[in-house]
């Protein structure tokens, strides 16, 4: 009698240990969620002597798996060592960033909600570098930081960084490019440009926009743009002036007649002289892609084909290059901002039914339970059945009645 009870107790205990042993990793997997993880980077921090203002970009990336509720960006320059003021001072860029306050060399901006990056996304925050009559090269630095709330950042170590800030004696062109993440599906409007139609879903068409600007001291004649799309994303059609490669994922676009003058010479918004241009290319997302997901790895790189002195207006922009010509690399004051990355952000289709294709990058919140977690849930279910059977058999031998909780179901 006592032996039977001991056997029953050991059976039940063994079953419970089996359940606990299998279910324990589930708690660990649940704890693996990191939350938001913002990091800061910068580009365009070299300025040609003679340029009065340049737009520098802070790049705020979210390396976590959640979107923070509030983001504040801060910029600080060390005070000058002597009595003279800083030859170049940073201040927030007016319009389109958020609520900003502070002064030259030290300010903060609370980003607008639409600028807060989601998982895997990056947002470019413009700041102005104003130069005050500097006649000599200068090497300085500034600190940029990003904080979130009310959540905690999963890795605060990359929330603050120091960056160089230099004035260089290089009277050349200075191209920059900014390419925001692709998050909207589009259609071609009556004026021939893409119009957003909603969030981007698998199989839909989006547009890779990229803005090219000349912030140097000489004009450029002809621009080459090299684009590379994230895995699974392809160009919808061959863009004019572009050569496709890599199964429709890469393009080299040569705009031989495009001339960009220094920003200081672009003073009339109604003329045909431009210091910056905004381009787009239509892209198609993978129809079998899992959503929501962020497809990372897209890049845009720009370079000038030729350079012209700012006072040379007699020569028309070059319209063609010989087929055997290799254009020489044109001097560029700051190549740190000649390349920019972008992601393609997919949202789930209405009513589910997402495909099981490769998402090409880390998924965002709301992903279905797949992979190791799905196996873990299955293992827990099997363990529960085995343990239940063992308890049932043991109870049947001792004619015991088990009372279980009513209507207990796993969480949806």
CATH number of the structural domain spanning residue 68: 2.60.40.1510
Three-class DSSP labels, the chain: CHHHHHHHHHHHHHHHHHHHHHHHHHHHHHHCCCCCCEEEEEECCEEECCCCEEEEEEEEEECCCCCCCEEEEEEECCCCCCCCCCCEEEEECCCCCEEEEEECCEEEEEECHHHCCCCCCEEEEEEEEEECCCCCCEEEEEEEEEEEECCCCCCHHHCEEEEEEEEECCCCECEEEECCCECEEEEECCCCCEEEEEECCCCCEEEEEEEEEECCCCEEEEEEEEEECCCCCEECCCCCCEEEECCCCEEEEEEEEEEECCHHHCCCCCCCCCCEEEEEEEEECCCCECCCEEEEEEEEEEEECCEECCCCCCCCCCCCCCCCCCCCCCCECCHHHCEEEEEEEECCCCCCCCCCECCCCCCCCCCCCCHHHHHHHHHHHHHHHHHHHHHHHHHHHHCCCCCCCCCCCCCC
Mark whether 225 and 134 lie in a shared domain: no
Q: Which of 110, 140, 169 is the last residue of a domain?
A: 169
Q: What are the CA-CA distances from residue 103 to residues 12, 106, 127, 330 (Å)?
A: 70, 5, 12, 36
Same domain, 126 and 213: no
53 and 25 within one domain: no
Residues in the chain: 412
The answer as to whether 403 is a domain residue is no
Let me know if residue 406 belongs to a domain: no
In a shared domain, residues 152 and 212: no
Q: What is the predicted pLDDT for the residue at 268?
A: 83
Last residue in a domain, options 136, 169, 202: 169
CB 217 within 8 A of CB 330: no
Residue 407 in any domain: the answer is no
Residue 404 domain flag? no
| Segment 66-100, tens digit of pLDDT | 999 999 999 999 998 888 889 999 999 987 899 99
As a whole number of angstroms, the distance between CA 257 and CA 316 comes to 9
Same domain, 37 and 78: yes
| Residues 157, 180 within the same domain | no
Dist CA 155 CA 63 (whole Å): 9
Most confident stretch, 234-248, 268-282, 310-324, 397-411: 234-248
Q: What confidence score (pLDDT) does residue 48 get?
A: 94
d(CA 306, CA 223): 8
Mean pLDDT score of the chain: 77
pLDDT-derived band at 244, boundaries 50, 70, 90: very high
Instruction: Establish if 345 belongs to a structural domain.
Output: yes
Q: Of 109, 92, 195, whose CA–CA distance to 146 is shortest?
A: 109
Digit-coded pLDDT (tens) for 131-145: 987 889 999 999 999
Give domain status of residue 319, yes or no. Answer: yes
Res. 396 pLDDT band, cuts 50 70 90? very low
Looking at the structure, tell me whether residues 257 and 235 fall in a common domain: yes
Residues 102 and 6 in one domain: no
Are 226 and 252 a contacting pair, CB within 8 Å?
A: yes
Structure tokens at 294: 């962020």
- Residue 376 pLDDT greater than 50, yes or no: no
How high is the pLDDT of residue 332? 66
Residue 235 sits in the same domain as residue 107: no
pLDDT of residue 334: 73
pLDDT single digits (tens) 191-207: 888 999 999 999 999 99
Q: What is the CATH number of the domain that holds 188?
A: 2.60.40.290
Looking at the fold, whether 249 and 269 belong to one and the same domain comes out as yes
Range of the domain at 297: 171-367
pLDDT at 356 over 50: no
User: Could you tell me if 216 and 263 lie in one domain?
Assistant: yes
Domain count, the chain: 3
Pairing of strands 219-228, 307-308: antiparallel
Kindly provide the b/e burial profile for residues 50-67, where b requires at least 16 CB atoms within 10 angstroms of the residue's own CB.
Answer: bbeebbbbbbbbbbbbbb
Is 316 contained in some domain?
yes
Sign of CA dihedral 251, 256, 258, 260: positive
Q: Are residues 62 and 179 in the same domain?
A: no
Domain membership of residue 189 (yes or no) is yes
């Amino acid at each position: 009698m006592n032996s039977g009870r001991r056997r029953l107790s050991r059976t039940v205990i063994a079953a419970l240990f089996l359940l606990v042993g299998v279910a324990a990793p589930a708690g660990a997997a649940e704890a693996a969620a990191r939350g938001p993880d913002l990091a800061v980077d910068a580009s365009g921090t070299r300025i040609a002597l003679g340029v009065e203002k340049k737009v520098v970009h802070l790049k705020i990336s979210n390396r976590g798996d959640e979107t923070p509720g509030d983001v504040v960006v801060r910029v600080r320059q060390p005070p000058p060592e002597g009595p003279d003021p800083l030859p170049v001072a940073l201040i927030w860029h007016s319009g389109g960033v958020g609520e900003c306050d502070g002064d030259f060399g030290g300010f903060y901006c609370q980003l607008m909600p639409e600028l807060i990056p989601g998982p895997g996304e990056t947002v470019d925050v413009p700041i102005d570098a104003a130069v005050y009559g500097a006649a000599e090269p200068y090497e300085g630095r500034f600190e940029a930081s990003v904080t979130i709330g009310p959540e905690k950042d999963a890795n605060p170590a990359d929330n603050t960084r120091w960056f160089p800030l230099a004035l260089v004696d290089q009277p050349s062109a200075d191209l920059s490019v900014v390419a925001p993440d692709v998050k909207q599906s589009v259609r071609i409007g009556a004026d021939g440009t893409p119009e957003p139609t909603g969030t981007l879903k698998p199989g839909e068409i989006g547009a890779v926009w990229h803005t090219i600007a000349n912030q140097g001291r000489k004009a450029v004649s002809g621009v080459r743009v090299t684009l590379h799309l994230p895995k699974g994303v392809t160009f919808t059609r061959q863009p004019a002036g572009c050569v496709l490669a890599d199964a429709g994922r890469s393009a080299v676009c040569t705009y031989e007649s495009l001339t960009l003058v220094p920003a200081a010479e672009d003073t009339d918004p109604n003329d045909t002289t431009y210091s910056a241009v905004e381009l787009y290319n239509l892209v198609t997302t993978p129809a079998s892609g899992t959503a929501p997901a962020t497809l990372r790895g897209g890049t845009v790189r720009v370079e000038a084909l030729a350079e012209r002195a700012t006072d040379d207006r007699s020569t028309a922009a070059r319209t063609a290059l010989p087929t055997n010509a290799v254009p020489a690399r044109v001097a560029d004051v700051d190549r740190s901002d000649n390349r920019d990355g972008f992601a393609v952000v997919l949202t789930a289709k209405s009513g589910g039914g997402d495909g099981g294709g490769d998402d090409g990058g880390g998924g965002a919140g709301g992903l279905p339970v797949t992979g190791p977690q799905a196996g873990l849930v299955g293992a827990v279910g099997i363990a529960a059945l085995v343990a239940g059977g063992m308890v049932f058999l043991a109870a049947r031998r001792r004619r015991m009645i088990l009372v279980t909780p009513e209507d207990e179901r796993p969480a949806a």
